[in-house]
């Protein structure tokens, strides 16, 4: 590679239109549950997402770290708070620690499901052989309705399913729809 081509590359990078790189990493998934998180102090939300990302393969470790980050924090999350199954879990807890554990568990499992399913769709797009996707039945009655439908890549609804009735949260995942 010549010096010029390297320089060109650098210039090109500067001229590239701005992408999402100025946003905190959690905002790169605007439909994920971490994007809806507001904390007091504000930086706790980003720190929690960093712990989530760092421990993507070991969600139990992520939950433990995030629990410590959130201890003593104020927080709100409209996406979680409007989820009836989350409310059910949350209201069953009688201690602050118990309620915080529920929040953390839901944040981690829902975000994980969201990102994993986006990743699946990306892989299908790259592979080029899958044209339509569906979810398998068995999550909950609400999601079973979704399982009867097929979606073209690029026009899929968001997972986890809003309005899912499964205890502990939606476990729907994209699979290729076989014609």
Q: What phi, psi does 93 have (nearest 5°)?
A: -80, 140
Rounded to whole angstroms, the Cα distance separating 100 from 25 reads 23
Report the nearest approach of Zn ion to the CB of residue 143 (Å). Answer: 3
- Stretch of 17-25, 75-83, 121-129, 162-170 lying at the interface with Zn ion (CB under 5 A): 162-170
Number of residues that bind Zn ion (CB under 5 A): 6
Q: Does 135 bind Zn ion (CB under 5 A)?
A: no
Q: Does 132 bind Zn ion (CB under 5 A)?
A: no
Within a 10 A sphere around the Cβ of 99, how many other Cβ atoms?
A: 15
**Of positions 130, 133, 139, 159, contacts Zn ion by CB under 5 A:** 139
Q: What phi, psi does 134 have (nearest 5°)?
A: -150, 175
Q: Does 62 bind Zn ion (CB under 5 A)?
A: no
Report the nearest approach of Zn ion to the CB of residue 79 (Å). Answer: 16
Residues in CB range of 59: below 8 A, 6 or more apart: 108, 109, 112
136: left (phi over 0), alpha (psi -120 to 50) or beta: beta
Report the nearest approach of Zn ion to the CB of residue 172 (Å). Answer: 6
Which two structure tokens, joined as six digits, stand for 92? 């069953």
**Of positions 166, 175, 176, 177, contacts Zn ion by CB under 5 A:** 166
- Stretch of 57-65, 78-86, 108-116, 168-176 lying at the interface with Zn ion (CB under 5 A): 168-176
**Residues of this chain that bind Zn ion (CB under 5 A):** 139-140, 143, 164, 166, 170
């Amino acid at each position: 590679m010549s010096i010029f081509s390297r320089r060109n590359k650098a210039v090109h990078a500067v001229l590239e239109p701005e992408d999402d790189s100025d946003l905190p990493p959690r905002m790169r998934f605007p439909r994920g549950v971490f994007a809806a998180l507001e904390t007091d102090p504000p930086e706790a939300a980003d720190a929690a997402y960093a712990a989530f990302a760092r421990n993507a393969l070991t969600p139990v470790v992520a939950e433990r770290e995030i629990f410590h980050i959130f201890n003593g924090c104020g927080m709100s999350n409209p996406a979680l708070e409007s989820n009836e199954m989350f409310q059910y879990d949350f209201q069953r807890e009688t201690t602050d620690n118990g309620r915080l554990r529920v929040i953390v568990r839901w944040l981690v499992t829902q975000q994980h499901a969201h990102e994993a399913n986006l990743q699946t769709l990306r892989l299908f797009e790259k592979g080029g052989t899958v044209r339509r996707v569906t979810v398998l039945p068995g999550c909950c009655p609400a999601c079973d309705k979704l399982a009867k439908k097929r979606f073209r890549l690029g026009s899929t609804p968001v997972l986890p399913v809003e309005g899912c009735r499964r205890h502990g949260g939606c476990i729907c995942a994209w699979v290729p729809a076989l014609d």
